[in-house]
Amino acid sequence: AGAIAHCLQSGGRSVEVFKPVASGCRRGGGGQLISADAEFLAACADSSRTLAEIAPVRYAAPLSPNVAAARAGVPVDIQAIFDGYSALVAGGRPVIVEGVGGLLCPISDELWVVHLAKMMALSVVIVARPGLGTINHTLLTVAAARSAGLTMAGVVINRYLVEPGKPDIATETNPAQIAALGGAEILAIVGEDPATSVDGDAL
């Protein structure tokens, strides 16, 4: 999500970024929960939004949102999520929504990420790892998206790396397999770059 936002922003297309619910947050001044994901998204989009606007629901424990909420004794505020998203949409700019743990990750006991994506009418970009095992994982996600009636934008293969002299047949053939078996467009293959930093200051 951050890379998409950064590319669009760098190309002159202003966008909004949104993280519906974030876990694994750190405590800031005054005990405020701060999401590193929200900070990174804000930096990628060069956003002037507050972190609370980008990530309206936050928890300290690095757990699925429903479990983090139960442990904190603070129910997930679903209305705050929709209000926050609606406020960004009202600005007229495209809104890039970062997922939370995958389509079948529970946000609450009743609402999963896939349900939220459907209710927000989002087009889905699946980010997949390149190596052995990714065909199964990716096609399961594609199937879940289609079963829910979501619009599939396509798949991004992330951190792709085949070293010279070290053939990796699985990695080399997986993108074509995913496209053929899943009927999913491969939008991009993003190479592994050890020099790349996810620190917002490095953008």
Q: How confident is the model at residue 201 (pLDDT cuts 50, 70, 90)?
A: low
Whole-model pTM? Answer: 0.91
At 196, the pLDDT band (50, 70, 90 cuts) reads: low
pLDDT band with cut points at 50, 70 and 90 for residue 197: low
Q: Is residue 22 within 8 Å of residue 83, measured between CB atoms?
A: no
Nearest to 17 by CA among 86, 117, 97, 91: 97
Secondary structure of residue 67 in the 3-state scheme: helix
- Cα separation, 142 vs 178, in Å, equals 10
Q: Which are the contacts of 21, defined by CB distance < 8 A and separation ≥ 6? A: 55, 56, 57, 58, 59, 65, 76, 81, 100, 107
Query: For the residues 96-105, what does the mean pLDDT come to?
Result: 96
pLDDT digit string, tens, across residues 55-73: 999 999 999 999 999 999 9
pLDDT digits 0-9 by tens, 112-158: 999 999 999 999 999 999 999 999 999 999 999 999 999 999 999 99
Closest CA to 187 of 160, 138, 154: 154
Where are the alpha helices (H) located in 126-202, listed in sequence order? Answer: 134-147, 169-182
Determine the Cα–Cα distance for residues 178 and 199; give it in Å rounded to an integer: 31
pLDDT score recorded for residue 202: 56
Superfamily of structural domain 1-100: P-loop containing nucleotide triphosphate hydrolases (3.40.50.300)
Q: How confident is the model at residue 198 (pLDDT cuts 50, 70, 90)?
A: low
- Residues with active-site annotation: 19
Determine contact, residues 43/18, Cβ cutoff 8 Å.
no
Q: Span 50-58, mean pLDDT?
A: 97
Write the DSSP assignment of 101-120 as a string of letters: S-TT-BSSSS-BHHHHHHHT
pLDDT at residue 129 in the model: 94
- Higher confidence at residue 42 or residue 168? 42
Domain chopping of the chain, boundaries: 1-100, 122-196
